[in-house]
Amino acid sequence: MTTAPANPPPTVTDQAVARTPPLLQLGGDAPLQPNARPGSNIDYELFLDCVHCGLCTASCPTFVETGNENDSPRGRIYLMRAVTDGRLELNNHVRRHLELCLDCRGCESACPSGVQYGKLIEPFRVSMEQAGAAQTGNAKLNDWFHRYILFGMFPYPERLRASLRPARIAQMLYLDKFLIATGLWRLLPSRLGRLFTMLPPLEKEQPQLPTFFPATGRRRARVALFTGCVGDVMFRQTNWATARVLQANGCDVVVPREQACCGAIHLHAGSSEPAREFADTNIAAFDPSSVDAIIVNVAGCGSMLKDYGHHWQDDKQHDREAFAAKVRDCSEFLDNLGLVTPPGELRVTATYHDACHLAHAQKVREQPRNLMKKIRGLKLVELPEADLCCGAAGTYNLTEPAMAEKLGRRKLENIRKTGARVVITSNAGCLLQIAREARMQGEVLKIMHPMDLLDLSYRKEKLTF
Q: Report if residue 82 sits inside a domain.
A: yes
Residues 6+ apart with CB under 8 A from 376: 342, 343, 344, 345, 346, 457
Q: How confident is the model at residue 105 (pLDDT cuts 50, 70, 90)?
A: very high
Q: By C-alpha distance, which of 285, 314, 68 is closest to 305?
A: 285
Measured in whole angstroms, the distance separating CA 379 from the mean position of its chain's CA atoms is 27
Write the DSSP assignment of 183-198 as a string of letters: TGGGGS-HHHHHHHHH
Q: By C-alpha distance, which of 77, 426, 394, 366 is closest to 235?
A: 426
**Percent of the chain with pLDDT strictly greater than 70:** 90
Residue 409 has pLDDT above 90, yes or no: yes
Mean pLDDT value across residues 369-383: 97
Q: What is the CATH number of the domain that holds 263?
A: 3.40.50
Q: How confident is the model at residue 14 (pLDDT cuts 50, 70, 90)?
A: very low
Residue 157 has pLDDT above 90, yes or no: yes
Same domain, yes or no, for 78 and 20?
Answer: yes
Same domain, yes or no, for 67 and 183?
Answer: no
Q: How confident is the model at residue 32 (pLDDT cuts 50, 70, 90)?
A: very low
Same domain, yes or no, for 151 and 42?
Answer: no
Query: Higher confidence at residue 1 or residue 415?
Result: 415
Q: Report if residue 263 sits inside a domain.
A: yes
Query: Which of 305, 335, 365 finishes a domain?
Result: 335
Same domain, yes or no, for 405 and 327?
Answer: no
Q: Report if residue 23 sits inside a domain.
A: yes
Q: How confident is the model at residue 203 (pLDDT cuts 50, 70, 90)?
A: confident
Same domain, yes or no, for 329 and 345?
Answer: no
Residue 4 has pLDDT above 60, yes or no: no
Please write down the long-range contacts of 202-208, taking CB distance under 8 Å and 24 or more positions apart: 202/164, 202/167, 202/168, 202/171, 203/237, 205/161, 205/236, 206/236, 206/237, 206/240
Residue-wise pLDDT tens digits, 313-351: 888 999 999 999 999 999 999 999 999 999 999 999 999
Q: What is the pLDDT of residue 464?
A: 87
Residue 142 has pLDDT above 60, yes or no: yes
Q: What is the pLDDT of residue 329?
A: 98
Say how far apart CA 239 and CA 235 lie, in whole Å. 7
Query: Which of 136, 165, 189 finishes a domain?
Result: 136
Q: Report if residue 383 sits inside a domain.
A: yes
Same domain, yes or no, for 25 and 131?
Answer: yes
Cβ distance 97 to 76 under 8 Å? yes
Q: What is the pLDDT of residue 137?
A: 54
Residue 86 has pLDDT above 50, yes or no: yes
Mean pLDDT value across residues 71-76: 96
Q: Report if residue 224 sits inside a domain.
A: yes
Q: Report if residue 5 sits inside a domain.
A: no
Residue 34 has pLDDT above 90, yes or no: no
Q: What is the pLDDT of residue 8?
A: 37
DSSP state of 147: I
Q: What is the pLDDT of residue 189?
A: 86
Residue 269 has pLDDT above 90, yes or no: no
Q: What residue numbers bound the domain in which 443 lies?
A: 341-458
Residue-wise pLDDT tens digits, 346-370: 999 999 999 999 999 999 999 999 9
Q: What is the pLDDT of residue 143?
A: 84
Mean pLDDT value across residues 152-168: 93
DSSP state of 11: P
Same domain, yes or no, for 186 and 229?
Answer: no
Q: Is 305 helix (H, G, I), strand (E, B) or coil?
A: helix
| Count of the separate structural domains present in the chain | 4
Same domain, yes or no, for 275 and 367?
Answer: no
Q: Report if residue 204 sits inside a domain.
A: no
Q: What is the CATH number of the domain that holds 120?
A: 1.10.1060
Phi, psi for residue 302 in degrees, rounded to 5: -60, -40
Q: Report if residue 3 sits inside a domain.
A: no
Residue 419 has pLDDT above 50, yes or no: yes
Same domain, yes or no, for 378 and 329?
Answer: no
Residue 38 has pLDDT above 90, yes or no: no
Same domain, yes or no, for 301 and 395?
Answer: no
Measured in whole angstroms, the distance separating CA 410 from the mean position of its chain's CA atoms is 18
Q: What is the CATH number of the domain that holds 449?
A: 3.40.50.1860
Cβ distance 292 to 307 under 8 Å? no
Same domain, yes or no, for 350 and 441?
Answer: yes
- Average pLDDT score, the chain: 89
Query: Which of 88, 105, 136 finishes a domain?
Result: 136
Q: What is the pLDDT of residue 22?
A: 37
Same domain, yes or no, for 186 and 297?
Answer: no
Q: How confident is the model at residue 30 (pLDDT cuts 50, 70, 90)?
A: very low
Q: What is the pLDDT of residue 136?
A: 52
Q: What is the pTM of this model?
A: 0.88
